[in-house]
Structure 1
């Protein structure tokens, strides 16, 4: 009797269903992947996980981080002389 095997690709998709790649997140936020990389180095951006050379972000953690960035009265940073 044969066991019914699922396709390997289907398992991988399910495994990463709650995760988004750095490139996908950058596109969704209108940023570059380099900006997210810089934020990671400075520990400013959303929390991430590295698997080999790839960086992934948990969707729920990104949404939580975005909520944490919300300000009641945003303060504009001044440029140049006051």
Structure 2
């Protein structure tokens, strides 16, 4: 499955991303903080970023598949959170 993982540089996201990849999933990490698991730096709340970077990047990887689908990910794992500071 194609999984968009928000909060990919956090404690849970940084542990979950490699586990999901190990199970054969295509994981795209999105987080405002750069990390080894973050492919796209930014916020899920930034609509333009999601359309330009996530949707278009996914389409470029597999155009035939996306001609038949309406979404850029099969699953959204929303692990993003405020740090409270």
- Determine which structure has greater relative contact order: mean sequence separation of CA pairs < 8 Å that are 6+ residues apart, divided by chain length: 2
TM-score over 0.5 (shorter chain): no
The two structures have a TM-score, normalised by structure 1, of 0.27
The two structures have a TM-score, normalised by structure 2, of 0.26
Question: Based on CA coordinates, which of the two structures has the bigger radius of gyration?
Answer: 1
Higher strand share: 2
Higher helix share: 1
